[in-house]
Amino acid sequence: MPGRRSGGTIRSMDGGTRGESTGVKRTHREWLLRIINLYPPLLGAGIRVRRTGTDRRAFEVRMRLTVFNRNYVGTHFGGSLYAMCDPFFMLILIPALGPEYVVWDKAATIRFLRPGRGTVRATFEVPDERVEAIRREADANGRAEPVFTAQVLGEGGEVVAEVDKTLYVRRRRAAGQPVEAG
């Protein structure tokens, strides 16, 4: 039966809906996940992203060692290890805080602790309590600069690298409101 998309639910031409009970309904976040897996810097490095948890505030990222992400000495290229950690805390906070807030990456550091071989993985999650603390700090101080740490783990669970990400968060300004210095 032909149908058309309407608000994430497939509507048949007779006005009924299909797919809601079978889990076929697509949300914006599900499409974001599909698109991010096709994003060239991640796709080219062989990085695969999936959501975990029921609250949609967690990502699991995996990267197999391939000819495209292997360095001169045969281990994971450091840039690929960083790329697998780059956008995820920001992608969690943007919908968690809502459209009233601006969220940007501000700084990052990576510490390589041992060579990455085989498949490496990292998990990114921001609990509700942390989201609310960031919101309170941004509202009270005009901005917040939370720091998150992610661990890249090897196949045996050993820590291959640690990545610290600093984000910038502030409430969105109303039109015509002056920009603060600093």
* Alpha helices for the chain (secondary structure H): 28-37, 40-45, 78-83, 88-97, 128-141
- Other beta carbons within 10 angstroms of residue 95's beta carbon come to 14
**Segment 14-42, tens digit of pLDDT:** 344 333 333 444 566 677 778 888 988 89
The reported pTM is 0.77
**Segment 94-147, tens digit of pLDDT:** 999 999 999 999 999 999 999 999 999 999 999 999 999 999 999 999 999 999
Q: Which of these CATH numbers, 3.10.129.10, 3.20.20.140, 3.30.930.10, 3.40.50.10470, describes 26-171?
A: 3.10.129.10
Q: Are 107 and 139 in contact (CB under 8 A)?
A: no
How far apart are the C-alpha atoms of 121 and 48, rounded to whole Å? 9
Output DSSP code: residue 70.
B
pLDDT recorded at residue 143: 96
pLDDT level of residue 1 (50, 70, 90 thresholds): very low
